[in-house]
Chains A and B, each alone.
Chain A
Amino acid sequence: MAVEPVMPKSWRLESKPHKFCPGCGHGIALKALGLAIDELGIQDRTVFGCDIGCSLLAWDFFNMDTVQTHHGRTTPVIYGVKRANPELICIAYMGDGGGYAIGAQHLVNAAARNELITVVLVNNTQYAMTGGQMAPTTLPGQKTETTPYGRDVLTAGYPMRGPEMIAEITPDGAYVARGTVARSRQLGNMLVRALENQLSGRGFSFVEVLATCPTNWRTNAQQTWSFLENTVENYYPVGELKIPLSDPEEEM
Chain B
Amino acid sequence: MEKVVTGEKRVFMTGNEVVCRAALAAGAEIMYGYPITPQNEIMHYWTRLAPRFGRRFLQTEDELSAGFATLGGVLAGRKAFTATAGPGNVLMQEPLAMAEMMRLPVVSIVVQRGGPSTATVIYSQQEVTLTTFGGNGEGLRFVYSTASHQELYDYTIKAFNLAWRYRFPVFVLADGYQGKMREPLTIYDPESRGIHMEETDAYLGRHGIPGLDRPPGHFRNTYNTEEELYAVMQGHIAAFEQAAEEVSEYETEPADGGLLITGHGIVARAVQQAAVQLRSAGFPVGYFRPITLRPLPVGALRDTAARHRQILVVESAYGQLGRLLRDAIYGCPAEVHALCKPGMGVTAEEIAVRAKQLCAARED
Contacts and interface: CB of A to CB of B under 8 A. Distances in A.
Are A and B subunits of one complex? yes
Interface of A: 12, 43-45, 47, 52, 56, 59-60, 62-70, 73, 75-85, 87-88, 105-106, 108-109
Nearest to B217: A65
Contact of B56 (A52, A78, A83, A88): A83
B16 interface: no
Interface residues of B, number: 44
Given A64-B216, A67-B203, 10 more contacts: A12-B211, A43-B210, A44-B209, A60-B220, A65-B203, A73-B94, A73-B98, A76-B64, A88-B204, A88-B205
B98 A59 contact: no
Given A44-B210, A65-B206, A66-B218, A84 B78 contact: yes
Nearest to B206: A65
B229 interface: no
A76 B98 CA distance: 13
B72 A77 contact: yes
B330 interface: no
15 contacts: A43-B210, A64-B210, A65-B203, A65-B205, A67-B203, A68-B219, A68-B220, A75-B65, A76-B68, A80-B76, A83-B69, A84-B29, A85-B76, A105-B62, A106-B68
Nearest to A45: B205
Interface string B72-94: 11111110100000000000001
B71 interface: yes
Nearest to B69: A80
Nearest to B98: A70
Given A59-B220, A60-B218, A76-B60, A69 B73 contact: no
B71 A77 contact: yes
Nearest to B207: A44
B94 A65 contact: no
Contacts of A59: 218-220, 222
Interface in B26-64: 29-30, 32, 56, 58, 60-62, 64
A78 B147 CA distance: 36
Contact of A43 (B69, B73, B206, B209): B209
B212 interface: yes
